[in-house]
Structure 1
Amino acid sequence: MKKLKTISVLSIAGFDGSGGAGIQADTKTISALGCYATNVLTALPIQNTQGVRNIFEISPKAIEEQLRAIFDDIYPDAIKIGMVHNTTLVNIIADFLKDYTGKIVFDPVMVSTSGHRLIDEDTITACIEKLFPLVDIITPNLDEVAVLVGNKIATVEQMEVAGKSLLNMGCQSVLVKGGHLDSDVLTSLLVLQNEPILSFHTPKIATPNTHGSGCTLSSAIATFLAQKYTLKEAVGKALNFVHEAIFHSKDLIIGQGNGPLNHLYAPQKLITYEISM
């Protein structure tokens, strides 16, 4: 007897009631790219398109039980990790995933759009020590890179140096995102161990609607990795997806601040394949 199986991608991330970032953005992205999304909620930020107002904690026991429930039932083909805002949570996730053999993408959410630090130094240290060696790629923006390396990053040359420094912190690979560059053409760099740096270039789109772009990119990379694309292919396809999602949202009015991307500009059908039962 033959049945149809889906490709599942797990988002371990925070909440966004406005629907543009966090688990909501991840679920939309994973679904739009043809995979089945599952979730583990790590925190309850109170936010909208104008910014983060507060962050409420989820109990460590609840997070561990969420992970166990998903793994017992819908084992993920790839994982995206987003907001991990305290050391206890870092330890729980790292311990739970230490034997996981699929691909893991970590978007180190450390700084809000308004420039506020969202996690403390101890948590940053825990992320570096516990999560960086565990994951296949990290995807920091320039503000987060600056926090990690201790220097402001404003040029592509500085991005290259910072990317190499991040590899020395134990990462397998780093995508240094150039979305905050003051340039008409945005450059992102894929920095790999013992390989030349790869550059990806996209024209900047004049729009305030970029809320959740980092969440969208990291979950898109995880989704393409789950579909068995190489890391280089997954990064390129994910960057293109984000660019198109921003382009198709540029004239939308959703909220009174930085609106979300249009994740559903061209949704794919759910990818399935036959298995014997």
Structure 2
Amino acid sequence: MVYAGVGKSDWEINLGLEKGIACFNVESIAELEVIEELAVAAGKTANVAFRINPNIGAHTHANITTGLAENKFGIAMQDMEKVIERADAMKNINVVGLHFHIGSQILDMGDFEALCNRINELQAKLENQNIHVQSINVGGGLGVSYDSPDRQPIPDFKDYFRTYTTHLRLREGQQLHFELGRSIVAQCGSLISRVLYVKQGTHKQFAILDAGMTDLIRPALYQALHKIQNLTSEEPAETYDVVGPICESSDVFAKAIDLNKCHRGDLIAIRSAGAYGEIMASSYNCRKLPKGYITEDL
């Protein structure tokens, strides 16, 4: 188990030390000092990897890029050697690796190739100082097909792993770690909702659902696209804005999309909701949290 995150609380760090987790991914000198202080107090040695900000722009939504110098994540490249030297002087800290993450929902393999090239540069720089690490964590980021989940239910893992095999120069015995969250689970879940009302507006008609941004916040948060299907109707398609019941103008799942003619009570499927869906739900507007159902029969 690895603990990553830019703001680790003391109790979380202590829990990780108590359970002997594999590694803390450290994002600042201030965090390193706190981990060392708590490790000393607990009589433990903390394994750490340093998250390095590679200053690489990923071809994805601005809100889910994480590898630019302007982002809050990671340690600046120019500070990498200084931080490792600082850690080496701490008796209760054991440096085991480097961690990177450039963003999420990335479909351009060129972004991952750029990351490989940057890691190669940084490793060579460290080796010039006789610094060697056991592991490289390249993060995740591989995207999925939100517009065609049936045609492409599984991401292009072959091309993804081939990119790293071709371009990343690992050292002998060095471990390579991936964080494949969304790419594995996104297509495994759908948000199922009912139409409460079909409302004819001045210029458009709305399909108002009983699900809203409290159940699936991605469209409201960064205008994310999800394929939407009317599971009940086989009537000719009409154009709708698909919206939720929350008192926010951003509570919109999609605008001007074609659905089979909607009626009150129709079942609507919002696809590819297995990642960043239920886990990000809230009770805002006095809403109940959505219920999840799991089956292996599909």
- TM-score normalised to structure 1 length: 0.38
Higher relative contact order (CA 8 A, sep 6+): 1
Question: Rg: which structure is higher?
Answer: 2
- TM-score normalised to structure 2 length: 0.36
